[in-house]
Amino acid sequence: MLRQRLGLTSPRLPNFANPSSVVFVCTMNISLPEALMAFVDDQVSARGYRSSSEYVLELIRKDRDRQRLCGLLLEGASSPEAVTADAHYHDQLRSRARGAGRR
């Protein structure tokens, strides 16, 4: 649908012209105290970021991933026990993993 609205009906478009690969970017401005701005600038320089935006974007992504992981862990903790993860279970798991590596 988006391809038609944009007049992009050819299936042979390169990825950069393919609407499914287009990412729309929004701008957000934040105000920081001087001390935090200095910290961000130091992190950008010391850790090889191209900009403070790139640094903040990584922080946001890591927080999102942490929240997803926390949700999955809570979901798993509240689910009924399917099998007992004892030594026998782990031995079988290792055997399956070794067998899959030989294929």
In the structure, what pLDDT confidence band is assigned to residue 17 with cuts at 50, 70 and 90? low
* pLDDT at res. 22: 72
Give CA–CA dist 43/17, Å, rounded.
34
* pLDDT at res. 4: 57
Percentage of the chain exceeding pLDDT 90: 61
Give CA–CA dist 79/73, Å, rounded.
10
32 pLDDT above the threshold of 80: yes
Sign of CA dihedral 38, 39, 42, 47: negative
Provide the residue type at 97 as one letter: A
Between 23 and 49, residue with greater pLDDT = 49
- Model pTM score: 0.58
Q: Where are the domains of the chain?
A: 2-78
